[in-house]
Amino acid sequence: MAARNGSAEWKGDLQSGTGTLSLGSGSFSGPYSFTSRFEDGSGTNPEELIAAAHAACFAMAMSAILAQEGHPVDSVRTTANVTLRRVDDAPTITKIELTAEGKVPGIDEAHFAEVVEKARQSCLVSRALAGVPEITATATFIA
């Protein structure tokens, strides 16, 4: 399997400095700052990128599981919300809430919910983030 990469550069001190981060593929490059990370400032932040990566991985994991079970997917849309809180006086990711919405012909809502749980356990980003105290996943099935 291929290695993936990203990069970041920070200039200045923590609160007034600025940074730029880039995906190794070149498909995204953008600014980040103290305010975009810990307040409501413009720009991106590492936690937002973690949320996007987790949502993407989770949607793919669900699609793979459903296909293995013989259920081709019309669509699976996943949202990930990453929560930061202070733990031992340090900002810490304490919770990630995954919400999956799917349209899959031939299954019912209960089966979709089972696949969501399987994906929560098998998604490689979920496994990489196993140190996060709480990762939840909920399903919305579109009939």
Reduced 3-state DSSP string for 77-110? EEEEEEEEEEECCEEEEEEEEEEEEEECCCCCHH
How, if at all, do strands 75-87 and 29-33 pair? unpaired
pTM: 0.89
- Break the chain into its structural domains and give their ranges: 6-38, 46-141
Percent of the chain with pLDDT over 90: 80
pLDDT of residue 142: 81
Residues of the chain where predicted confidence (pLDDT) is lower than 70:
143
pLDDT, residue 1, reads 74
CATH of 46-141, one of 3.40.720.10, 3.40.50.1820, 3.30.300.20, 3.40.50.720: 3.30.300.20
**Nearest to 29, CA basis, from 20, 19, 41, 18:** 20
State pLDDT tens for residues 32-72.
Answer: 999 999 999 999 999 999 999 999 999 999 999 999 999 99
Three-class secondary structure of residue 136 per DSSP? strand
